[in-house]
Amino acid sequence: MRNNHTTAGTYVIGEDNDCVQENNTDHFCNGPLKPNTVYVFKFRATNINGQHTDSEYSDHVKTAVDGLLTREEQIILGVLLSFFLAVLLIVIICASVRIHQRKKEGGTYSPREAEIIETKCKLDQLIAVADLELKQEKLNRYSSFFFRRKEIYVIQLLSYRKSLKPVNKKSFLQHVEDLCANDNAKFQEEFAELPKLLQDLATTDADLPWNKSKNRFPNIKPYNNNRVKLLSEPGTAGSDYINASFVSGYLCPNEFIATQGPLPGTVADFWRMIWETGTRTIAMLTQCYEKGRHGHYILVRHFNYTSWPEHGVPESCGTLIKFVKAVRAHRHDNTTIAVHCSAGVGRTGVFMALDHLIQHVRDHDFVDIYGLVAELRSERMCMVQNLAQYIFLHQSTLELLNNKGNSQSIWFVSYSALEKMDSLDAMEGKAPFH
């Protein structure tokens, strides 16, 4: 028997004028919003097990120039948020009743319905602010935003990734030169430290007998907690499984799907994933080809980067930077971007890290590639798989900071030392665990 306790109320963002945000902590307080600043928010529903489901992020919302909401705006905001919360709770309760009736009648229900009933109708309103410097955009005020949008939102704010080894942009060139000294000794040392930061995350779903054959490499598996779940087919064990993981982008969680290249037996699952997740953009980092199935259809932009050699890294950072920017520029309506290579970790991890860095260097005075790779690996194992790829990210960052994008190889990196390590020419997915 499950007891549901729901409460609808009003939450005013930025009402605590005495709140002081503590640095280097996960604690957030409801401090005043900054004037003339852009914010985004979303709804999150969380159950007692810590599992949660999120709405899409809202459009950008800009505060008033003086930083203060008028009394009328506060009333509108409070009323609308209460209404949205109440509607969301009603939807969850109705779904719970429906699923309970199905179970009582001996029927079946999908994993998505099961996740809804496990929610227990509890909403955690976690607030973090993303201060976006979008000075060129003319954005509407709060009231016009709420009346224009039809989607349901609950407030959750964004937080930047934690910095582990931040380096000032002005010092980054000297930092990379230091890492390259003595046959890349400090590069090797830093890269070897990354596995020590990983949590012990479960991958048992990938090890189930009916799922093992769907993994291209036995040692590259998605974590249970953020794997992409397909809609289950009744009576078919493992029909919800695909070797793919949701990965956070620069500002938005679940902005990417990192996945392996489709196998002959998983091509249909790949396109089913694209359809069910509403993905409209695919970035392919290999030279293989896939084919789809015809029926109902959606238009998908398929970007293929063919200059990445089977072994090692691209000769030029500039071409990959342009490719990543092109994919970002053609992203459709903020839908998920699916990225795959062979195993879905090495080249895929470099792509996602580079997409993050392109946006990060515009907004910050520091760079933290080490912390970024560690964060990516917390969402999918072995992201940025080998030392050559890790060094390539540093070279690409130098290109971004110099605004050139046309250099060739890393001019002061000792590739002879890399070749001795066997990591440069190792096949993706078969390289040692990093």
What local confidence, expressed as pLDDT, does residue 15 receive? Answer: 77
Q: For 182-206, what is each residue's pLDDT tens digit?
A: 888 899 999 999 988 887 889 999 9
The CATH number given to whatever domain includes residue 273 is: 3.90.190.10
pLDDT band for position 231 (cuts 50, 70, 90): very high
Residue 145 and residue 91 in one domain? yes
The tokens for 281 are 């953009």
Residues composing the chain: 434
> Is 428 inside a domain boundary?
no
Place of tokens 């489901």: 53
> Is the model's pLDDT at 266 over the cut of 80?
yes
> Is the model's pLDDT at 433 over the cut of 80?
no
Residue 90 and residue 154 in one domain? yes
Domain end marker among 114, 138, 159: 159
Specify the number of domains making up the chain.
2
Residue 198 and residue 268 in one domain? yes
> Is the model's pLDDT at 408 over the cut of 60?
no
Alpha helix locations (H) across 288-406?
317-329, 346-363, 369-377, 387-402
Average pLDDT over residues 230-245: 92
Q: Between 35 and 290, where is the model more confident?
A: 35
> Is the model's pLDDT at 171 over the cut of 60?
yes
- Residue 180 a catalytic site member: no
CA distance readout (Å), 166 to 128, 251, 426: 21, 18, 29
pLDDT band for position 24 (cuts 50, 70, 90): low
Q: Between 48 and 120, where is the model more confident?
A: 48
Residue 85 and residue 44 in one domain? yes
What local confidence, expressed as pLDDT, does residue 61 receive? Answer: 80
Q: Which of 186-200, 276-290, 381-395 has the lowest mean pLDDT?
A: 276-290
The tokens for 388 are 């050559």
Residue 127 and residue 45 in one domain? yes
Q: For 415-429, what is each residue's pLDDT tens digit?
A: 444 544 444 334 455
Please tell me which of 138-147, 161-170, 370-379 the model is most confident about, judged by mean pLDDT: 370-379
pTM: 0.56
Residue 378 and residue 403 in one domain? yes
What local confidence, expressed as pLDDT, does residue 84 receive? Answer: 85
Contact of 244 with 258, CB cutoff 8 Å: yes
Contact of 394 with 370, CB cutoff 8 Å: no
Residue-number span of the structural domain to which 77 is assigned = 1-159
Q: Chain-wide mean pLDDT for the chain?
A: 75
Which of 379, 427, 422, 388 lies closest to 261, judged by CA?
A: 427
> Is the model's pLDDT at 411 over the cut of 50?
no
> Is 265 inside a domain boundary?
yes
Q: For 57-81, what is each residue's pLDDT tens digit?
A: 888 887 776 645 666 777 888 888 8
Question: Which candidate in 121, 180, 341, 382 is catalytic?
Answer: 341
Distance CA 125, CA 82 (A): 13
